[in-house]
């Protein structure tokens, strides 16, 4: 198979050499048959005619050789493309309308498929994922552009006054912190979140628990929930990690839970989650 592919590739790359070699070989065989007939007493003109009849036509034999090497298909494809290009240029207005229609149709179908794929075929790995929304924040009057984060004060205002939301959670992007107190020190990615995140996403830890409102309050002792992949890599699936003290950037921290393998929020690079000590003022 590989030898055949190499042979076809060589014939395509060195097309001129292939055509020359094929013509020389056919000429050699035709002359050999012609000379053999001449030696038998046949006139040369008649001998050449019989030789060509014997091979069934030079061009037909060449096409068979090209087909055997996979070159004929490329020739036919190039011919069809050239013909189509000439026809398109000849009817440029119609061609432009067709291309524009196809572009709009393909774009619309791609957008619809993206939504269907995310919502129906491959929804988020959380409960009631079709009801999850992400809040944006902007102040057009002050030229503040739309961003995908909100101030903590606004979060608590939503929490108190947005009665159309059954739950609300807030998180901060992951930062790198130094883990010590358990083996070799390591830089890990830690995301700070509110205690309500699991209830909003409808997920539960595989081991232990998530942190509580009291543990998320400012001044409380820090606790952490580990990502499943990090727990496997760093602690070797040890269930006794629950309750174990560690240190994150010098802050004493107690491990209280391990999430399931499918949980990766906000992305799969996060190694642990700790409470975000947001002030609860709504003024």
pLDDT tens track for 85-130: 888 888 888 888 888 999 999 988 888 877 776 666 666 778 777 7
- Parent domain of 13: 2-88
pLDDT the model gives residue 111: 85
pLDDT the model gives residue 157: 86
Which of 88, 109, 136 is the last residue in one of the domains?
Answer: 88
Tell how far CA 67 is from the center of its chain.
37
Name the range with the highest mean pLDDT among 11-15, 49-53, 88-92: 88-92
Q: How confident is the model at residue 1 (pLDDT cuts 50, 70, 90)?
A: low
Q: In the block, which residue shows the tokens 């101030």?
A: 151
Domain tally, the chain: 3
Residues 155 and 46 in one domain: no
pLDDT the model gives residue 283: 44
The partner residues of 176 in beta bridges, in order of sequence, read: 189
Considering the chain, what is the average pLDDT of its residues? Answer: 81
Strands (E), the chain: 137-139, 144-147, 175-180, 186-193, 207-208, 222-226, 245-248, 251-258, 272-275
Residues 169 and 256 in one domain: yes
The partner residues of 272 in beta bridges, in order of sequence, read: 190, 226
Residues 160 and 218 in one domain: yes
Residues 78 and 166 in one domain: no
pLDDT the model gives residue 275: 94
pLDDT the model gives residue 95: 83
Distance CA 6, CA 10 (A): 6
Q: How confident is the model at residue 50 (pLDDT cuts 50, 70, 90)?
A: confident
Tell how far CA 238 is from the center of its chain.
33
Residues 216 and 258 in one domain: yes
pLDDT at residue 282 tops 50: no
Residues 56 and 134 in one domain: no
Give the CA distances from residue 194 to residues 169, 171, 279, in Å, rounded to whole numbers and listed in that order: 6, 6, 11
Which of 105, 121, 137 is the last residue in one of the domains?
Answer: 121
Residues 245 and 136 in one domain: yes
Q: What is the mean pLDDT of residues 174-202?
A: 92
pLDDT at residue 82 tops 70: yes
Residues 280 and 262 in one domain: yes
Q: What is the mean pLDDT of residues 160-166?
A: 87
pTM (predicted TM-score): 0.57
Residues 245 and 200 in one domain: yes
Residues 193 and 84 in one domain: no
Residues 173 and 258 in one domain: yes
Residues 97 and 237 in one domain: no
| Backbone φ, ψ for residue 151 (5° rounding) | -65, 150
Around Cβ 226, how many Cβ atoms within 10 Å?
Answer: 27
pLDDT at residue 69 tops 90: no
């Amino acid at each position: 198979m590989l030898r055949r592919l190499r042979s076809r590739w060589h014939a395509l790359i060195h097309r001129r050499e292939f055509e020359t070699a094929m013509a020389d070989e056919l000429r050699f065989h035709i002359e050999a048959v012609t000379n053999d007939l001449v030696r038998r007493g046949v006139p040369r003109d008649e001998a050449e005619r019989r030789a060509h009849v014997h091979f069934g036509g030079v061009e037909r034999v060449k096409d068979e050789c090209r087909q055997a090497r996979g070159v004929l298909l490329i020739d036919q494809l190039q011919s069809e493309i050239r013909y189509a290009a000439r026809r398109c240029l000849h009817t440029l207005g119609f061609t432009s309308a067709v291309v524009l229609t196809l572009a709009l149709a393909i774009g619309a179908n791609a957008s619809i498929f993206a939504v269907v794929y995310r919502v129906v075929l491959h929804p988020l790995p959380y409960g009631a994922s079709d009801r999850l929304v992400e809040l944006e924040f902007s102040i057009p009057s002050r030229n503040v552009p739309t961003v995908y984060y909100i101030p903590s004060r606004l979060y608590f205002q939503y929490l108190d006054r947005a009665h159309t939301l059954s739950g609300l959670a807030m998180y901060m992007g992951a930062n790198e912190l130094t883990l010590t107190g358990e083996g070799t020190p390591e830089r890990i990615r830690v995301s700070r979140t509110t205690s309500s995140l699991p209830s909003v996403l409808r997920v539960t830890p595989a081991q232990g628990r998530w942190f509580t409102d009291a543990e998320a309050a400012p001044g409380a002792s820090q606790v952490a929930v580990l990502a499943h992949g990090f727990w496997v890599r760093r602690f070797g699936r040890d269930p006794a990690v629950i309750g174990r003290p560690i240190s994150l950037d010098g802050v004493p921290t107690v491990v209280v839970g391990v999430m399931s393998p499918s949980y990766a929020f906000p992305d799969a690079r996060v190694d642990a989650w700790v409470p975000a000590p947001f002030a609860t003022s709504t003024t």
